[in-house]
Amino acid sequence: MKVLILGATGLLGKALVRVWTGDEVLAMGSRDANICDSSKVREIVGRVRPDWVVLAAAYTDVDGCESNRERAFSVNRDGAVNVAQAARQVGSKLIFLSSDYVFDGKKTSPYEVDDMRNPQSVYGHTKAEAEVKLLEILPNCCIARTSWVYGVGGKCFPDTILRLAANRPALDVVNDQRGCPTYTVDLSRAIIQLCRKDASGIAHVTNTGDCSWFDFAREIIAGAGLTIEVRPVSSQEMARPAPRPAYSVLSPMSLRRYSIEMPGWKDALRRYLEERKS
């Protein structure tokens, strides 16, 4: 199988490149393949003619998207459309990374793949609109929604918590947003399996179990052997430019259709901390 990874220098892209073995993999970052440049994308995909294109390139600064709306849509929606059109021209399959932010967070039970999209942030809107357009262009594409992604080699929540813990006597972390932390290594392995199983449609891909950001932070601090106090606060007390869904737990049922099981989030965090230390 020949695979083209777009967004190879991002947090997930780096993990995909490290983890993916046994196939012919060509990895490109934004400098090599700017997905906003439709002619460049067509040239690259036409030259490589991959069996699968993995689209991990995105503008993922959720708060930044609020003040850079044009850029957010240009990359996350229009860039994805460019890749889908190029893939269609050469008959490549496409797997697109989407987000729990396509939902409004008003449910109290895990979101299924056919639950209604109702994004509340610019970032969420870019991903939701991309999903709709990609399914029109490539009805057999695979959309992998994930959430709370972290890993080594870039900015992420655990890295931020550990960096702040080195300089502060206590940390305030929101306790009224609930979701599924997802380790890039486990996410990468699931993506590889989805490609090898010729997946199509929408799949929810996260580590199993759920927690609040406060729970996550406490587990990070404890796992790192630190004793700093972590204090729960409300989202109102920690206001951010972009609204976050209060509940965005994604159901694993769609992934189990492919006999793919993800490790628990605490086990994943333990392995991340070991990888980060080494």
Flag whether 24 is in a domain: yes
Flag whether 102 is in a domain: yes
pLDDT at 31: 92
Flag whether 121 is in a domain: yes
Flag whether 225 is in a domain: no
Flag whether 224 is in a domain: no
User: Which residue in the list 111, 123, 150, 272 is annotated as catalytic?
Assistant: 123
pTM given for the model: 0.98
pLDDT tens for each residue of 240-258: 999 999 999 999 999 999 9
Flag whether 95 is in a domain: yes
Flag whether 17 is in a domain: yes
pLDDT tens for each residue of 2-60: 999 999 999 999 999 999 999 999 999 989 999 999 999 999 999 999 999 999 999 99
Q: Cα–Cα distance between 273 and 151 in angstroms, integer?
A: 9
Angstrom CA distances, 11 to 57, 144, 150, 219, stand at 10, 16, 7, 21
pLDDT tens for each residue of 111-157: 999 999 999 999 999 999 999 999 999 999 999 999 999 999 999 99
pLDDT tens for each residue of 77-114: 999 999 999 999 999 999 999 999 999 999 999 999 99
pLDDT at 263: 98
Catalytic site includes residue 123: yes
Q: Cα–Cα distance between 243 and 226 in angstroms, integer?
A: 30
Supply the range of the domain harboring residue 107.
2-146+181-207+250-263
pLDDT at 239: 86
Asked whether residue 218 carries a pLDDT value surpassing 90, the answer given is yes
* Average pLDDT of the residues in 198-206: 98
Flag whether 35 is in a domain: yes
Instruction: Work out whether strand 2-6 and strand 182-183 pair parallel, antiparallel, or are unpaired.
Output: unpaired
What CATH number has the domain bearing residue 9? 3.40.50.720
The count of domains in the chain is: 1
pLDDT at 141: 98
pLDDT at 274: 98
Given the structure tokens 């994004």, which residue do they identify? 119
